[in-house]
Structure 1
Amino acid sequence: MAVALEAGRRKRAAVVVLGDIGRSPRMQYHSLSLANQAGMEVDIVANGGSDPHLLLRENPSIHIHEMKSVQLTGILKISGALTLLLKAAIQFIILIWYLCFKIPRPDVFIVQNPPSVPTLAAVKLASWLRGAKFIVDWHNFGYTLLGLSHGRSHIIVKIYFWFEKHFGRMADGAFCVTKAMKHELDQKWGINATVLYDQSPEFFHPASLTEKHELFSRLGNSICSAMGNDDCISVEKEVEDRKNTTVFTSWVDGEIFLKPNRPALVVSSTSWTPDEDFSILLEAALMYDRRVAATLGEDDSMDEGKLWIDIKNGKQFVYPRLLFIITGKGPDRMKYEEQIKRLKLRRVAFRTMWLASEDYPLLLGSADLGVSLHTSSSGLDLPMKVVDMFGCGLPVCAASFSCIDELVKINNNGLLFSTSSELADELMMLFKGFPEECDDLKSLKVGALNTGSSSKWSTEWERYALPLVNQVIG
Structure 2
Amino acid sequence: NPPSIPTLHLALLVSLLRGSHLLIDWHNYGWSIMATGRSQKNPLVWLYKKYEMYFGRVVPTANLTVTDAMARQLKEKPYSNKKPIFTLHDRPAEVFQPIASTKARQDFLSHLKETKDVADSIMAGTTRLIVSSTSWTPDEDFGLLLDALVAYAHPEEAVTETGVGRPPILAIITGKGPQKAEYEEKIKNLRLEGKLPGITILTAWLSTREYATLLSCADLGVCLHKSSSGVDLPMKVVDMFGSGLPVAAYSAYESFGELIKEGENGCGFETATELADVLIRLLSESGKDELKTLKAGAIKEGSLRWDEEWDRVVGRIVGVIDS
TM-score, reference length from structure 2:
0.88
Q: The residue matched to 2:37 in structure 1 has which SS?
A: helix
More strand per residue: 1
User: How far 1:118 moved relative to its partner?
Assistant: 2.0
Q: Aligned residue for 1:334?
A: 181
Q: Which stretch of structure 1 is more off in the superposition, 190-199 or 208-217?
A: 208-217
Q: Aligned residue for 1:276?
A: 140
Q: Aligned residue for 2:152?
A: 288
Taking the TM superposition and a 5 Å limit, the aligned residue runs for 1:50-449 are: 112-113=1-2, 115-169=3-57, 170-188=59-77, 189=79, 190=81, 191-208=83-100, 209-220=102-113, 222-223=114-115, 236=117, 247-249=118-120, 259-260=123-124, 262-291=126-155, 318-344=165-191, 345-400=196-251, 401-433=253-285, 438-449=288-299
User: How far 1:267 moved relative to its partner?
Assistant: 0.8
User: How far 1:280 moved relative to its partner?
Assistant: 0.3
Residues 186 and 192 of structure 1 are in contact (CA less than 8 Å); yes or no, is this contact kept in structure 2?
no
CA deviations on 1:32-79 (whole Å, 9 max, x unpaired) are xxxxxxxxxxxxxxxxxxxxxxxxxxxxxxxxxxxxxxxxxxxxxxxx
Computed over aligned residues only, the root mean square deviation of the Cα atoms, in angstroms, reads: 2.5
Do the aligned partners of residues 277 and 296 (structure 1) sit closer, same or farther apart at CA in structure 2, a change above 3 Å counting? closer
For the residues of structure 1 that align with 2:115 and 2:241, how far apart are their CA atoms?
Answer: 24
Residues 215 and 240 of structure 2 are in contact (CA less than 8 Å); yes or no, is this contact kept in structure 1?
yes
For the residues of structure 2 that align with 1:126 and 1:337, how far apart are their CA atoms?
Answer: 46
Residues 27 and 232 of structure 2 are in contact (CA less than 8 Å); yes or no, is this contact kept in structure 1?
yes
**Runs of 5+ in structure 2 lacking a partner?**
none
Paired residue type of 1:320: P
Residues 395 and 444 of structure 1 are in contact (CA less than 8 Å); yes or no, is this contact kept in structure 2?
yes
CA deviations on 1:346-388 (whole Å, 9 max, x unpaired) are 1111111121112221111111001111120010001111111
For the residues of structure 2 that align with 1:137 and 1:162, how far apart are their CA atoms?
Answer: 18
Do the aligned partners of residues 193 and 354 (structure 1) sit closer, same or farther apart at CA in structure 2, a change above 3 Å counting? farther
Paired residue type of 1:193: I
Q: Aligned residue for 1:461?
A: 310
**Runs of 5+ in structure 1 lacking a partner?**
1-111, 225-235, 237-246, 251-257, 299-316
Q: The residue matched to 1:349 in structure 2 has which SS?
A: strand
Q: The residue matched to 2:207 in structure 1 has which SS?
A: coil
Task: Decide which structure has the larger Cα Rg and report it.
Answer: 1
Relative contact order: is structure 1 or structure 2 higher (C-alpha 8 Å, sep ≥ 6)? 2
CA deviations on 1:269-312 (whole Å, 9 max, x unpaired) are 111122111100000001001118999999xxxxxxxxxxxxxx
Do the aligned partners of residues 447 and 292 (structure 1) sit closer, same or farther apart at CA in structure 2, a change above 3 Å counting? farther
How many percent of aligned residue pairs carry the same amino acid?
Answer: 43
User: How far 1:152 moved relative to its partner?
Assistant: 0.6
Do the aligned partners of residues 292 and 432 (structure 1) sit closer, same or farther apart at CA in structure 2, a change above 3 Å counting? farther
CA deviations on 1:247-268 (whole Å, 9 max, x unpaired) are 2249xxxxxxx64254211011
User: How far 1:422 moved relative to its partner?
Assistant: 0.6
Paired residue type of 2:178: P
TM-score, reference length from structure 1:
0.61
